Amino acid sequence: MGATALAVAPIVAVSASAASRPQVKNVTGSFTDKPYTATTPDSGSCGQNWAIDLYTRDFVISPKASNGTTTVVEHFNNAKFITLGDGDTGSAQSPGACDSDSNPDHMLKAGVSGTFSGTFTIVVDSGYTYNPGNGCGSQEGATGAAVDTGCDDASWIQMAFPGAVFNTNTTTPAYALTYHASGSLDGNTWTDSSAGDSGDIFSSTT
C-alpha cells in the first residue's frame, strides 16, 4: 500500500503580544451610591429662595464613555418642600413668577407644603475616575456656616472623583424637577427644567 499524503496546514505567525492580549468587552451597567439626606433652600425663576427642601440624593454612575467622561444621574427621592413666603407672615414671588408673561403677578404664601421629584445629569470631565465608598460629608460645619445642609453636589463630586471640582470639572447638561403642592393648593404644579419651565405654584396675584 502506498503512503497516504497528509495535507500540511499553513503556519500562521501570531505575535506574542497579540496572543496574550485579553479580549476587551464593552462595559455595561452602572453603580449606585445612596442615600444621602439633605436640607436645602430652593431658588425660583426670579432667583429668590421660595422654599426649604428635605430629600435624599441617589447618584447613579455610568462607566466611562469613549471620550473619558463619566455621566452621573442624581435622583431626588422622598422629597418634600415647605414654602417661605416673605420670611414673616406675608407672601412673596412664586417659583414660576419670572418664567412667562402670564406669571409676573403670582405670589405664594408661607407654609404651603408639597412633594417633588426629578433628576440632574452631571458629566465629569475626562481625567477623573470614580472612587466608590467615600461618602458625602458636607463641609459647611467646618466653614462656620449657620446651617449644615448635609450632602451637596460639590462635596459628593470632590469625594467620589478625587481632584475634580463641581462646576469647574463638571457640567450639568440636563435637569428636571417637578413640584406638586398639597392642601389648599392641591393641583398647583411647577416644573423647573433645562428644557423649559412650566406651570406654577401660587396662592394669590398682585
Name which residue leads in pLDDT, 144 or 162: 162
Name which residue leads in pLDDT, 7 or 90: 90
**What's the confidence (pLDDT) of residue 87?**
83
- Say yes or no to pLDDT of 19 above 90: no
- Sequence-distant (≥ 6) Cβ neighbours of residue 8 within 8 angstroms: none
**What's the confidence (pLDDT) of residue 135?**
85
- Say yes or no to pLDDT of 145 above 60: no
pLDDT in tens, 48-73: 999 999 999 999 999 999 999 999 99
Alpha helices in the chain (DSSP H): 16-20, 153-160
**What's the confidence (pLDDT) of residue 139?**
52
Q: What is the mean pLDDT of residues 164-169?
A: 97
Question: What is the CB-side half-sphere exposure of residue 93 using CA atoms within 13 A?
Answer: 15
Q: What is the mean pLDDT of residues 141-166?
A: 76
Closest by CA to 59, choosing from 160, 206, 147, is 160
Among 12-16, 101-105, 126-130, top mean pLDDT goes to 126-130
Reported confidence tier of residue 37, pLDDT bands at 50, 70, 90: confident
**What's the confidence (pLDDT) of residue 44?**
96
The strand pair at 70-83 and 106-108 is best described as unpaired
Reported confidence tier of residue 28, pLDDT bands at 50, 70, 90: low
- Say yes or no to pLDDT of 24 above 80: no
CA–CA separation, 9 and 18 (whole Å): 21
